[in-house]
Structure 1
């Protein structure tokens, strides 16, 4: 495994750990300013809308896993296919489980850190 592949895997692990902890600041640091998220049934959206959506999830318990199925590094860009299994439990409500695949593009920034740049989430 190359250093870049390890760094990208660490990025995914950090994302999952920060999400479980409700650490929105860390999650936001893992995405580019020009990020584009794509979800079924929604218009693509960027970092500001993601931050707003994250605020609404405060107090929710998030448990999950992400398994990288394919990872290809192409210079300062890379793509990965993941299988995600996430359960979100809102306060006082029943858990909601979502599973499925994502296709994510990551980009190395000027400081040499990998960040999410595009994410197509097919989790249902």
Structure 2
């Protein structure tokens, strides 16, 4: 499998695992020192911080996302990808769904085992 396909597969697995609410499937897809950049929010640093945040959201909401990977560029053990992302966040109880869409720029790096993991993610959803 090519590096580009491995990254595309990682994005697809992340999307499936999020919809299924299976946080434990998502965690190995990111580096321990991962950072997430979201407009208007402080940088979220580390896998543990992401896990805490995602578990809190999934306790009360269903998250359905559609990621259309537009571009993947690989150079050695680093790669980036641009994605058009659409997300629907629906309360498990009563309430209206929230819809967000926008572009994402993600940086991946190969770990010691040769697997790609998300290292940095700049999310421009609105």
TM above 0.5: yes
Q: Which of 93, 99, 107 pairs up with 1:105?
A: 107
Structure 1 gaps, min length 5: none
- In the other structure, the counterpart of 1:89 is 90
Could you tell which deviates more after superposition, 75-84 or 41-50?
Answer: 41-50
Aligned CA-pair RMSD: 1.1
> Which residues of 2 match residues 13-32 of structure 1 at below 5 A?
13-32=12-31
- In the other structure, the counterpart of 1:44 is 43
Moved over 4 A (4+): none
Instruction: Give the secondary-structure state (helix, strand or coil) at the position aligned to 2:66.
Output: strand
The count of corresponding residues between Structure 1 and Structure 2 is 123
2:89 and 2:71 map into 1 onto residues whose CA distance is: 25
Shift of 1:82: 0.5
